[in-house]
Structure 1
Amino acid sequence: MKSRSIAPMAVPAGVVGIVLLLVVPLPAALLDVLIAVNITASLVILLTSMYVKRPLDFSVFPSLILVFTLFRLGLNVASTRLVLRDGYAGQVIEAFGHFVIGGSLVIGLVIFLILVVIQFAVITNGAGRVAEVGARFTLDAMPGKQMAIDADLNSGLIDEDEARRRRADVAAEADFYGAMDGGSKFVKGDAIAGIIITVINLVGGFVIGMVQMGMSAGESLQRFSLLTIGDGLVTQIPALLLSVSTGIVVTRATAEGDMGTAAAKQLGQSRTALLISGGAAVALALLPGMPKLPFLLVGATLILVAQRVKAREQREADAAAATPAAAAVAAPSDTPEQLIEQMRVHTLEILLAPDLVDLVGTGPDQDLLARVRGLRRKTAMELGIVVPPVRTRDSVDLPRATYVVKIAGVEVGRGEAPAGYMLALGDDLSALPGTTVHEPVFGLPGKWVPSELRHAAEMSGATVVDRVSVLITHLGALITQNAARLLGREDVRVLTESVKKVNPSVVEELVPSLLSLGEVQRVLQGLLTEEVPIRDLGRIYEALALRAKLSTDPEGLVEAARGALGPALAAPYVQDGVLRVLTLDPALEQTLVESLRPGDGGTQLLVDPTRVEAVLHQLRAAVADAEGDGRTVVLVCAPVVRPALRRLVALGLPRLPVLSYAEVTGGGLTVETVGVVRGDHAIAA
């Protein structure tokens, strides 16, 4: 039978065997084998706990504690039966009773009590306390960890599968420490049971030896006491190993390597500490009456290790100094090519104040470059454009804690991300220190609180966001708002070539026969201006090919592309299957249609400014009411007036979508009218 077939049956069969130990008498030879298995398995568990990199890698450990505790208790019962019945419990217990403790009852009792005190009063209590605190803190930290995972997923740094794996790890970590909190109680109970069983065996063996076996008091005490102490040592040593394993597992706080590697690396990081310790050991050897050789040997070893640490630090310093020097030697003088590169205007750029340079490190709060790469992937999946590489550099002209985002050399947004702080967002932040600020994307009230107060902020009901997440969220919003400016002619060529690979006929019909790349770029920019994704380029190009045979007017081409996308335009604004809309009063809509005039930038509305201000005022009020109830609304109108009305509305409400009637019908959408704009006042539907 293969090992994979045996493994699922091994533990259940072992547990059944443990139960049988409690009721079925065992021969002494079999008891010796089981005792050897107990000691060896406990040693394997101890060494495994030292080599795991994180506690979750040994997630079965709490269950093993229960199984091996029951196993030791079963061995106690089996050995007690043999000791009291036959006065003999196998060679292992005999050896521990005579060879290990020298046949001395007093020595055996002292060693046994010392082991019990070490296990019960020191290791088990400490491990239990650490497990209890770890379980409590892990549960308290779960909401923050979940939000961090959601932030990484939303920024595109991780995919859905990785997010699910991390959420499972968070839940498993909480379950593990909760199980360890209970598992440590098994170890403590095992220590107490060991003491009670030993006392019972001492008294019972003494009585049986005198009453049933006819021994004298001294013979009975000598024989059964040694066997009882040997039995106690045989079970307490594996129990001690398991207690140490429990302490090691619950106190692990690093996932960088196994315990031995981490200890060697961290104990050897301070040359001064090693030198002082070595000198102290040598000084102790010079004291009168002290043995010279042990202290001199230890002191010399520490000093030798300190010298090796010094040599390693010198090599690292030389390597660090050589890198800038080599770069300076390799750098040529200012050539025309270099000057041209330096004066080139970058499409997308992030400028950081000098105290924010740490954001481009490798720590959990210093992963700006990785998060930017994730944001580029996320933007490509949502908008259908490839965001150009983001140049990141520092600027001494910026105030402290300030960052600036530039597109084509022009600043489009700036914000703050002070070092050592996290942004707490919520409605009631009065209990938190700091000055109230507003989140740069949605304008939510918040406060920058010290990182060490993150737990307190979360407990007060605030949502805590790290500095990189704030910057990345702001950058993502700016990219979406300025996507049209980021789409260059070369980007359009690359996108067109990708469509040609899967749909060559539509591309050959459209470019360059009907439209040039520049005209296609202008249409795609018109879609991106209204945050319409251009991922479905095949359908967009088909609509452009049909429209371009009639007219190449840019506004008409954009509307044709929008018509091809259909219900996909309204889908982002649907909540619970319902699209909530604001409509225009028919009289107002007819007035707008009659005021349409052609212009160089498309159709324009020639409407009285007072009327325009009234319309915008009513739209603001209606949108504010809807957002106050947590609803998203769009403005719908006749297709002929939609482009001009969108440009008009953008002056006062740039984030309000404007759709035509054709774009909200079909697709199984349920449309609910939440307000009607009349031009002088708005009424709720």
Structure 2
Amino acid sequence: MNLTSTLGGQFFILEKLKPFGLPLAILMLMVMMVIPLPAFLLDVFFTTNILLSLLILMVSLHTFRPLDFSSFPTVLLFATILRLGLNVASTRIVLSSGHTGSDAAGKVIEAFGEFVIAGNYVVGIFVFAILIIINLVVITKGAGRVSEVSARFTLDAMPGKQMAIDADLNAGLLTSEEAKQRRDDIAKEADFYGSMDGASKFVKGDAIAGILILLINIIGGLIIGIAQHNLPVSTAAENYIILSVGDGLVAQIPSLLLAIATAIIVTRVSTSQDLSKQIGTQIGIKQAWLPSAGVLFLLGIIPGMPNLLFLTASALTFFIWWTIKKQGESSGEINDKSVKENDEDKLDNTDDDNALSLSEIADNSAISMQLGYGLIQLVDDENDGPLIARITGVRKQISKDLGFIIPQVRIRDDLSLEANHYRIRIGQEIVAEDKIFPQLLLAIPGDSAQTKIEGTDVKDPSFNMDATWIEPHQQARAENLGYMVVEPEAVIATHLNQILSKQAADLLGQDDVQALLDNLSKTSPQLVSSTVPKLVPLNILTSILKLLLIENMPISDLKRILEVLASLNVKTMSPIELAEAIRPTVSSLLIQQIAPLNNALPIITFSAELEQMIVNIAKQTGANGLILEGSLIQKIVSGINSVMEKMQTENRKAVMITAPVIRRDLSQMLRQHIPTLDILSFTELPDNKKIEVVANIGSDEESNS
């Protein structure tokens, strides 16, 4: 019990001291440069320095991408400071105690010095100089150049990467959390390569400092040994050169290791493998090893060459080629066996040509589009997939207008369709289909188009207007004649836009609503937690939002919707009544899409007599809904259609305004005949919005309005 308590107390103390570990280490380095160290501590620190450099090199070799070792620039700085601190400490001992012998600065420096020099001072100095040149001129200079170029290219590529993330997010390929993580990775990558550009200068400066420290130790040591300690020149040279070269070598070996680690990090390509596996995979191709074995064999049979050595190398290379070849054949046999087994499974599971796979009958995509084989080119990557970009734009715009993320559109080829046909599904229901010509352009006549243009006459799939498919070379002539010319992918995208806007309520589910609530809870957590599900269950809220979307009412201001619900007696009201109560609060979102801020809102009204008659009929029918005579409905629909067509020629849109008591019943009736008609009540008009009455249905002046 006492032992456990003691160990627990020690671990607690260590945890508390952990934040102070790095600052204390930096302070110790500073102290090391000022206070003389005994030779034993110098040996310990030099050994630790070599160990640290080896660890950094091993970590660099086993990272999958540079960002996996994002702290490398800072670690490199600390390792450089440690090494320079040791150089200062060792120089003090070399110059002050070098006259006592080659072991004055510790066993590590003595061993490295005698090992390199091996009794010949000149050779030792030249070997050390070569190590410095390799470090400074080759590795450090190359790593610094790669760091500089990588930093510049990374910064230049940042805008494009950000746009790609936004495109994937809008296309539904990424969640908001994944997009945020990728943006953070891009920012970290830019910071990393920028830091590496500067950190490589540490390595270069360290190598230069090593040369200067070596010269100072040798020259200063000889002067001190001869002048102050009266040593013979040969003895002074022996002591101080061994110490100086040993000190420089002990410092330069870790420096060389860190320079190699720096070069590995900055030249590393992000993959799912460590460096050894990546290199092994890429050079392990049999086509490279057999010619190499052949060249070595030819060199081995040339008289005068070291024949045995070259022939042995050729045999070894040939053995590696044979091993790689056998491994490839084994993999091929496994793959062939897997394919054969899959084919047998298919034969077992298909009794006739009419058998279907599960993916063909269980497509769970919220939105899907099937294309005939003649339209595959519109989504082909080699042609930049123009349809994909159009669909992404449609999803983005509708999502902004309605206030929730439209699901991703799954596009598939369907050989059962005719070549140029396409089909749009919401869930499993086919909601639209038509035919386009991918090599042609669709010309839609405008108001000024008087001359008929030659081509294939059709109906525009979106608005059922007369249109003509023309050859691309006819585009200029068609535009001069007053036609609007549309690309085939734009025809499909416009049709999809119309379908998605009309079917938006079918696309919203409880998961989507929960995602909206989760997003709102980041800024209004109390409102969300006190409303859903305490006052309004998630399924009821989803039903309310669907009712709003059915009549094109945006749900983007979910905060205001929840605030209205929190103020109502929701337990005594149906979802329909709740949706009607919410509409005046969010109607301005729909109105601003129809008429910008400073423009008057075009409205269609009923004459006072006609509206009062409809109100009386609604009171009589009660819960059975609004029931009008067929002739009256036809008259109303005809009058509204005339106004809508006139407004369309002016590139404007009008809304129907009526009394609140009949608004919903009238909307259900009229939208069956005019799906694009928006019907608002008087109470849903903002007080500060200007209006323009463009028609008064049922009045004697209707035809002139």
User: What TM-score does the superposition give when structure 1 sets the normalisation length?
Assistant: 0.67
3-state DSSP of counterpart to 2:369: strand
Aligned to 2:692, what secondary structure does the other structure show? Answer: strand
Structure-1 separation of matches of 2:430 and 2:227: 102
Q: Counterpart of 2:75 in structure 1: which amino acid?
A: L
- Matched to 2:88, the amino acid is V
Which residue of 140, 143, 151 maps to 1:127?
143
Structure 2 partner of 1:271: 286
Letter in 1 for 2:657: C
Matched residue, 1:454: none
Tell me the distance in 2 between the aligned counterparts of 1:533 and 1:647: 23
Query: CA 1:505 to 1:474, structure 2 compared with 1: closer, same or farther past 3 Å?
Result: closer
Deviations 1:573-629 (A, max 9, x none): 779xx97774357xx6354984898466979345387655544455x35x7xxxxxx
Match of 1:480 in 2: 500
Aligned to 2:412: 392
* Structure 2 counterpart of 1:663: 684
Structure 2 equivalent of residue 207 of structure 1: 223
Cα distance in 1, alignment partners of residues 536 and 143 from structure 2: 71
Shift of 1:163: 2.8
Q: Which runs of 5+ in 2 are unaligned?
A: 1-9, 99-103, 440-460, 463-489, 514-531, 615-627, 697-705
Partner SS for 2:200: helix
Report the Cα distance in structure 2 between the residues aligned to 1:223 and 1:611, rounded to whole angstroms.
107
Q: Residue 60 of structure 1: CA displacement?
A: 1.0
1:171/1:339 CA distance change after superposition, 3 Å: closer
Query: How many angstroms does 1:242 deviate by?
Result: 0.6
Q: Residue in 2 aligned with 1:11?
A: 22
Aligned counterpart in structure 1 of residue 301 of structure 2, from 286, 289, 308: 286
Give 1:103's aligned amino acid: G
Aligned pairs for 1:255-334 within 5 A = 255-268=271-284, 270-288=285-303, 289-293=305-309, 294-296=312-314, 298-319=316-337, 321-334=339-352
Whole-angstrom distance in 1 between the partners of 2:571 and 2:584? 14
Residue 109 of structure 2 corresponds to: 93
Distance, in Å, in 2 between the alignment partners of 1:274 and 1:79 is 49
AA at the equivalent of 1:393? D
Relative to structure 1, is the Cα distance of residues 295 and 359 closer, same or farther in structure 2, using a 3 angstrom cutoff? Answer: farther
2:275 and 2:358 mapped to 1: Cα distance?
53
Which residue of structure 1 lines up, in the alignment, with residue 203 of structure 2? 187
Deviation at 1:104? 2.3
Q: What SS class does the counterpart of residue 269 from structure 2 fall into? A: coil
Report the Cα distance in structure 1 between the residues aligned to 2:215 and 2:492, rounded to whole angstroms.
67
Q: Deviations over 1:138-188 (max 9, x none)?
A: 212222222233333334443333333222222111111111111011111
CA contact (8 A) 1:583 1:636 kept: no
Separation in 2, partners of 1:410, 1:333? 33
Q: 1:340 to 1:285 in 2, by over 3 A?
A: closer
TM-aligned CA deviation for residue 249 of structure 1: 1.0
Task: Output aligned runs, 1:480-519, within 5 Å.
Answer: 480-483=500-503
Of 102, 110, 119, which aligns to 2:118? Answer: 102
Q: Which residue in the other structure is 1:147 paired with?
A: 163
Aligned to 1:93, the other structure's residue is in SS state helix
Equivalence map 1:160-199=2 (5 Å): 160-199=176-215
Residue 88 of structure 2 aligns to a residue in which SS? Answer: helix
Cα distance in 1 for residues equivalent to 2:352 and 2:585? 55
| Alpha carbons of structure 1 residues 298 and 118: separation in structure 2 relative to 1, 3 Å | farther
What are the residue-to-residue correspondences of 1:330-369 with 2, within 5 Å?
330-334=348-352, 348-351=368-371, 353=373
1:554-593 aligned within 5 A:
561-571=579-589, 582-584=600-602, 589=605, 591=607
Q: SS in structure 2 opposite 1:607?
A: helix
Distance 1:360 1:217, change over 3 A: same
Q: Tell me, in whole angstroms, the C-alpha distance in 2 between the residues paired with 1:355 and 1:391.
A: 11
Change (3 A) 1:606 1:60: same
CA offset at residue 78 of structure 1? Answer: 1.1
Max Rg structure: 2
Give the partner amino acid of 1:299.
Answer: T
Paired residues of 2:553 and 2:589 also in contact (CA < 8 A): no
CA distance in structure 2 between the aligned counterparts of 1:16 and 1:242, rounded to whole angstroms: 23
- Kindly provide the amino acid, as one letter, of the partner of residue 302 in structure 2: L
Structure 1 distance, partners of 2:341, 2:498, is 37
Residues 1:525 and 1:140: Cα distance change in structure 2 (over 3 Å)? same
1:27 positional shift:
1.0
Q: Deviations over 1:59-79 (max 9, x none)?
A: 111111111111111111111
CA contact (8 A) 2:637 2:674 kept: no
Aligned partner letter, 2:369: E
Structure 2: distance between partners of 1:73 and 1:415: 74
Partner of 2:467: none
Conservation of the 8 A alpha-carbon contact between 2:116 and 2:127 = no
Q: TM-score, length-normalised on structure 2?
A: 0.65
- AA partner of residue 136 (structure 1): R
**Cα distance in structure 2, aligned partners of 1:474 and 1:29:** 81
Paired amino acid for 1:67: F
Deviations 1:104-138 (A, max 9, x none): 22232222122211111111112112211221122
Of 209-218 and 82-91, the range deviating more from structure 2: 209-218
- Listed as ranges, the gaps of 5+ residues in structure 1 are 419-439, 442-469, 496-500, 511-519, 548-556, 624-633, 666-670, 681-685
- String of CA shifts for 1:449-506, please: whole Å, max 9, x gaps: xxxxxxxxxxxxxxxxxxxxx9999898466324269589xx99xx9xxxxx989999
Corresponding letter in the other structure for 2:281: K
Q: Indicate which of 66, 69, 81 corresponds to 2:77.
A: 66
One-letter amino acid matched to 2:291: I
Flag the 1:602–1:29 CA change in 2: closer, same or farther, 3 A.
farther
Aligned residue runs from structure 1 range 535-550, under 5 A: none
Return the letter of the residue paired with 2:324: A
- Specify whether residues 485 and 80 from structure 1 end up closer, same or farther in structure 2 by C-alpha distance, changes over 3 A only: closer
C-alpha RMSD of the superposition: 5.5
1:392 partner amino acid = R
Deviations 1:386-416 (A, max 9, x none): 989957335497889x986456456558999
Mean alpha-carbon deviation: is it higher for 62-71 or for 102-111?
A: 102-111
Shift of 1:96: 0.7
- Indicate how the Cα distance of structure 1 residues 237 and 358 shifts in structure 2: closer, same or farther if over 3 A, else same: farther
Q: CA deviation at 1:356?
A: 5.6
**2:80 and 2:202 in contact (8 A); partners too:** yes
Change in CA separation of 1:560 and 1:208 when aligned onto 2, cut-off 3 Å: closer
Instruction: Please state if 1:528 is matched with 2:550.
Output: yes
* 1:128 alignment partner, SS class: helix
Q: Counterparts of 2:359 and 2:240 in 1: how far apart (Å)?
A: 91
Q: How far did residue 635 of structure 1 move?
A: 5.2
Give the counterpart letter for 2:683 in structure 1: A
Does 2:65 align with 1:54?
yes
Query: Following superposition of structure 1 onto structure 2, how do residues 439-454 of structure 1 map, counting pairs within 5 Å?
Result: none
What is the rounded CA distance, in whole Å, between the counterparts of 1:506 and 1:30 in structure 2?
Answer: 71
Between the aligned partners of 1:33 and 1:265, the Cα distance in structure 2 is 40
Kept after mapping to 1: 8 A contact 2:605/2:695: no
1:223 maps to which residue?
A: 239
Preserved contact between residue 422 and residue 433 of structure 2 (Cα < 8 Å)? no
Distance 1:505 1:309, change over 3 A: closer
Counterparts in 2 of 1:206 and 1:611: CA distance versus 1, 3 Å: same
Alignment of 1:79 with 2:90, yes or no, is yes
